[in-house]
Chains A and B, each alone.
Chain A
Amino acid sequence: METLLVIVVALLAVAALTQAVRIFEISSQIKGTDTDVKVDDRDNNTQGWLMILFLVFFFGAFAWMVNEYMDVTLPVAASEHGAEIDNLWNISMGVILTAFLVTQPLLFGFAFMFRGRKNRKATYMEHNNRLELFWTGVPAVVLAGLILYGLTTWSNVMNPENTEEPMVVEIYAKQFGWQARYAGSDNELGYANVRLIEGVNTLGVDPSDEHSANDIVTNELHLPKGRPVLLKFRSQDVIHSAYLPHFRVQMNCVPGTRTQFQFTPNITTAEMRSKPEMIKKVKRVNALRAERGEDPWEFDYVLLCNKICGAAHYNMQLKVVVEEEGAFNDWMKQQQTFAEML
């Protein structure tokens, strides 16, 4: 019934539009103005002014969004390499904002300045090698800088220099959840394969491998502050992506192969919670939650899935806790080893 109503309204709207257009056309015929596409000075003037108005509106809205929405973006990076990435981000943003803020006014400004007039004659100008060389050269030089800086950062992030041996942790993905497997006291993961999944051994760890007995499987990822951690990723079914936005870490989990990412968390959960920007964010979120009658939220790092993986893709999360070495060791002691679990 409702659908029918919507269709009727839509049809009536089209009919109304038709009539409006016809009245408009007939009235302009009487007035002697041309309503079809040939544009005249009045159109050029109106549209030219609209161009410049749009520019003002566009930049105004942009400034408003920066002012209003920058608050919701991610806080400071909570990892060592993350700071480097953020630096590169800021410099790249500086470059692209400059390009954006210079070219858009030129575009809409010229559109306004040179809006057509009957007696205006356009200047015949085929090309200008010096100008073209200039705007090929400038982007080329700027890009050379960005590329060099980008590649240096990338190489630092992907091949970190180790001062100490990183702690090895496996991140295991399946529809629809995450688990972590610590390599334990020998810091070496036992062999695992989906073919070995059986009963409580949901990760398919090989019990006959000497490295597997002291592996520790958990449902939360705890990391000690300041210690390098080497995450190794595995998936049981489809491609997932382990995304740790606060640490500037992301890596796909690919069935049939293993991927890895090394980083050093350097801000504990408690420290992050007490950052002014985070206090502000939590307050804002909790005000919204209170309106909806939901429980207040306390900030936690999170690992979420960032590769479409099925119906519950939107709810595949793993709580991540960064703490001081001591607290981390205490938590570790409470966990069951793989041998105990069997």
Chain B
Amino acid sequence: MESHEHHKETFITKYIFSTDHKMIAKQFLITGMIMGIIGVGMSLLFRLQLAWPDHEWPILDALLGKWAEDGVMTPDIYLALVTIHGTIMVFFVLTAGLSGTFSNLLIPLQIGARDMASGFINMLSYWFFFVSSVVMISSLFVENGPASAGWTIYPPLSALPQAIPGSGTGMTLWLVSMSLFIVSSLLGALNYIVTVLNLRTKGMSMTRLPLTIWAFFVTAILGVLSFPVLFSAALLLIFDRSFGTSFYLSDIMVAGELLTNQGGSPILYQHLFWFLGHPEVYIILLPALGISSEVISTNARKPIFGYRAMVGSILAIAFLSFIVWGHHMFVTGMNPFLGSVFTFTTLLIAIPSAVKAFNYITTLWKGNLQFTPAMMFSIGLVSTFITGGVTGLILGDSALDINVHDTYFVVAHFHIVMGLSAIFGLFAGVYHWFPKLFGRRMNKNLGYVHFWVTFICAYGVFFPMHFLGMAGLPRRYYTNTNFPMFDDLADINVVVSYFAIIGGIAQVIFIYNFFYSALRGKKSSQNPWRSNTLEWTTPVEHVHGNWPGEIPEVHRWPYDYSKPGADEDFIPQIVPMTEEEIATSH
């Protein structure tokens, strides 16, 4: 490892093929943001269609071309937009954008490591993600349009180009892109696990890890165990599509053509998909919860309430997430007994989730709350986590799921509990660690405006959808106008679309604040939030290896805020325990 000491950095090794975790974090963040703009933008387009189905929108004509001649989109492109919106938001923004950014940035900095265990594998992880993003975006430009079988791409619809045009080249590119994505995710996750287990600094025992690290660590384990199953599902689908196998296909006549496939089961695909798909929800959510734990504790100037219970509930949620996938499949005709088992395990998740929610709320109790924009978003996260979480008790209950399965009730539920909570966690993370990422500070007033507009619009978009679902309105309908029984839902759809458009456009405030502050924001001090964790002991200017001298030793847990007897309301982890503290600790 001689060469490690000094090698001249060129533009390419510093900014492009960088092996420095801090630079890789920025690469993930910026790529994730670009994908986020595309994903959210798509949702605005199909909200136009849902609220005003016959209206001619010149902007649709301009953006979608042959798929929206006269400014009215076709059903095919509607389904394509819904599909790619879901794929991009779930995988590219909330998995790679969130975990990729903050696991990379914070794992080495908060555990006291010079870098990831393997900088090279870390770099590969980003570049696989980058190529995967490029392939996914390129699928928008193929002749028959991108994949359009829903983000869950259930076969046979996704296997047969005769069934829907998007299942041609578009689906092939989707599968290629996702395969690359899975490689990226696995490379990243393996690195995170190895780094957390092996490279903690002296004194940093597992019980002294910040909750962010616990969340990233458990998330990585979930990814390693579940993404390969998605890969196998995708591989079998590729075989069915291209090599004439029948893993998922049997007894099919489509577009007047009788297929020879026999003996396969489309339900097999769903089992494989959701074996990843459900843990995936927590792969998205846990990092956001970890970030908010850190942000809430720091800004409440109080220890996070019930540290061990928080770690325990992360582990419990992670474990349960592997044995609940069947609740996505209650109406596939599965054995009712199996349905009972999945109902039981699913509803159990409410217990660790409730513990987390109560612990967040209690952390605020008798705190000295500093409302930074990051804190605002974290409180918003707790709110959406509760609002979206409680409806899980309805959907996880097989008997009730019969009636709201695949309706807008589901859309409301998962967008609030998973989409909003995770995106709020992402925002909280960006506002909080911006000084660490760029050495500068973001404008707080723009942050406040961004938070309130986003928060109100987010609820404005998704809360009314519960009522749409309770009216029996199925999701993924191009328009509801063919069913007079849904005519009186038109007003609600208009309200939803208005909030969506305002909320979507308001993100310009954030993007502006982000880039303006990155380039011209005020220089940050070393520890702007008066925080205890190790990353704030590194210099503001990034250095290779993080600490110019020795890596500091850790003497205490990260949540000694407002500890009685201390002069300041925070005691960084590097401060040794006093005699008195040792005597009273238990």
Listed in ascending order, the chain A residues whose CB lies under 8 Å from chain B are 2-3, 6, 13-14, 17-18, 21, 24-25, 35-39, 43-44, 47-48, 50-51, 54, 57-58, 61-62, 65, 69-74, 84-85, 88-89, 92-93, 95-96, 99-100, 103-104, 106-108, 110-111, 114-117, 120-128, 131-132, 135-136, 139-140, 143, 146-147, 150-151, 153-155, 157-159, 174-175, 193-195, 197, 204, 233, 236-239, 241, 243, 245-246, 248-252, 254-260, 281, 284-285, 288-289, 297, 299, 302, 304-315, 317
- Point out the residue from B403, B446, B463 that lies within 8 Å of A248, measured CB to CB: B403
**Known: A72-B492, A122-B301, A125-B305. Is A154-B390 also a contact (CB below 8 A)?**
no
- Point out the residue from B333, B355, B358, B492 that lies within 8 Å of A259, measured CB to CB: B333
Considering the complex of A and B, which 3 residue pairs feature the smallest CB-CB distances, nearest first? Answer: A256-B250, A259-B333, A245-B472
A229 → B minimal CB distance (Å):
16
Chain B CB within 10 Å — which of A21, A115, A204, A249 has the most? A21
Q: Is there an interface contact between A306 and B372, defined as CB atoms closer than 8 Å?
A: no
Chain B CB within 10 Å — which of A65, A100, A309, A317 has the most? A309
**Known: A65-B464, A104-B383, A313-B478. Is A73-B471 also a contact (CB below 8 A)?**
yes
B477 within 8 A of A: yes
For B59, the chain A residues whose CB sits under 8 A away are 2-3, 6
B159 → A minimal CB distance (Å):
9
Q: Tell me, in angstroms, the Cα distance from A191 to B19 when the chains sit together.
A: 63
For B258, the chain A residues whose CB sits under 8 A away are 194-195, 197
Chain B CB within 10 Å — which of A84, A124, A153, A157 has the most? A124
Nearest to A284 among chain B residues (CB) is B488
Interface residue ranges of B238-263 to A (CB < 8 Å): 249-255, 258, 262-263
Q: Is there an interface contact between A44 and B370, defined as CB atoms closer than 8 Å?
A: yes
Q: Tell me, in angstroms, the Cα distance from A158 to B337 when the chains sit together.
A: 9
Q: Is there an interface contact between A114 and B366, defined as CB atoms closer than 8 Å?
A: yes
Q: Tell me, in angstroms, the Cα distance from A258 to B362 when the chains sit together.
A: 51
B398 within 8 A of A: yes
**Known: A44-B370, A47-B448. Is A254-B251 also a contact (CB below 8 A)?**
no
14 contacts between A and B (CB under 8 A): A2-B62, A35-B443, A72-B471, A84-B399, A92-B394, A103-B358, A107-B364, A132-B309, A146-B393, A239-B157, A255-B266, A256-B264, A310-B164, A313-B476
Q: Is there an interface contact between B149 and A256, defined as CB atoms closer than 8 Å?
A: no
Interface segment, one of B90-98, B224-232, B557-565: B557-565
Nearest to A137 among chain B residues (CB) is B351
Starting from the known contacts A136-B354, A243-B474, A299-B485, 5 additional A-B residue pairs (CB-CB under 8 Å) come to A38-B528, A48-B369, A107-B360, A107-B361, A256-B265
B41 within 8 A of A: no
B163 → A minimal CB distance (Å):
5
Nearest to B559 among chain A residues (CB) is A126
Nearest to A57 among chain B residues (CB) is B456
Q: Is there an interface contact between A288 and B403, defined as CB atoms closer than 8 Å?
A: no
Chain A CB within 10 Å — which of B74, B249, B262, B357 has the most? B357
Q: Tell me, in angstroms, the Cα distance from A310 to B482 when the chains sit together.
A: 16
Q: Is there an interface contact between A260 and B333, defined as CB atoms closer than 8 Å?
A: yes
B508 within 8 A of A: yes
Q: Tell me, in angstroms, the Cα distance from A62 to B472 when the chains sit together.
A: 20
Q: Is there an interface contact between B386 and A100, defined as CB atoms closer than 8 Å?
A: yes
For A74, the chain B residues whose CB sits under 8 A away are 403, 470-472
Q: Tell me, in angstroms, the Cα distance from A304 to B446 when the chains sit together.
A: 46
Q: Is there an interface contact between A18 and B516, defined as CB atoms closer than 8 Å?
A: yes
B292 → A minimal CB distance (Å):
12
Q: Tell me, in angstroms, the Cα distance from A308 to B167 when the chains sit together.
A: 13
Q: Is there an interface contact between A237 and B254, defined as CB atoms closer than 8 Å?
A: yes
B267 within 8 A of A: yes
Nearest to A305 among chain B residues (CB) is B474
**Known: A122-B301, A123-B562, A154-B339. Is A250-B516 also a contact (CB below 8 A)?**
no
A275 → B minimal CB distance (Å):
14
The A contact surface, by secondary structure, is helix
Q: Tell me, in angstroms, the Cα distance from A57 to B487 when the chains sit together.
A: 28
Q: Is there an interface contact between A47 and B371, defined as CB atoms closer than 8 Å?
A: yes
Q: Tell me, in angstroms, the Cα distance from A225 to B138 when the chains sit together.
A: 55
Q: Is there an interface contact between A306 and B402, defined as CB atoms closer than 8 Å?
A: no
Q: Is there an interface contact between A37 and B447, defined as CB atoms closer than 8 Å?
A: yes
Interface residue ranges of B35-77 to A (CB < 8 Å): 58-59, 62, 74-76
Q: Is there an interface contact between B383 and A151, defined as CB atoms closer than 8 Å?
A: no
Interface segment, one of B169-177, B342-350, B420-428: B342-350
**Known: A44-B371, A127-B305. Is A317-B483 also a contact (CB below 8 A)?**
yes
Q: Tell me, in angstroms, the Cα distance from A52 to B448 when the chains sit together.
A: 15
B407 → A minimal CB distance (Å):
7
Q: Is there an interface contact between A116 and B368, defined as CB atoms closer than 8 Å?
A: yes
Q: Is there an interface contact between A37 and B305, defined as CB atoms closer than 8 Å?
A: no
Residue-wise, chain B 423-439 has the 8 Å CB interface mask toward A (1 for contact) of 00000000100010000
Q: Is there an interface contact between B480 and A146, defined as CB atoms closer than 8 Å?
A: no
Q: Is there an interface contact between B265 and A245, defined as CB atoms closer than 8 Å?
A: no
Nearest to A153 among chain B residues (CB) is B399
Q: Is there an interface contact between A309 and B370, defined as CB atoms closer than 8 Å?
A: no
Residue-wise, chain B 393-414 has the 8 Å CB interface mask toward A (1 for contact) of 1100111101101110000000
Interface residue ranges of B442-490 to A (CB < 8 Å): 442-448, 452, 455-456, 459, 463-464, 467, 470-472, 474, 476-480, 482-485, 487-490
Q: Is there an interface contact between A24 and B390, defined as CB atoms closer than 8 Å?
A: no
A16 → B minimal CB distance (Å):
11
B84 within 8 A of A: no
A236 → B minimal CB distance (Å):
5
B545 within 8 A of A: no
B302 within 8 A of A: yes
Q: Tell me, in angstroms, the Cα distance from A35 to B156 when the chains sit together.
A: 56
B357 → A minimal CB distance (Å):
6
Q: Tell me, in angstroms, the Cα distance from A44 to B191 when the chains sit together.
A: 40
Q: Tell me, in angstroms, the Cα distance from A18 to B306 when the chains sit together.
A: 43
B541 → A minimal CB distance (Å):
18
For B406, the chain A residues whose CB sits under 8 A away are 241, 243, 250, 306-307
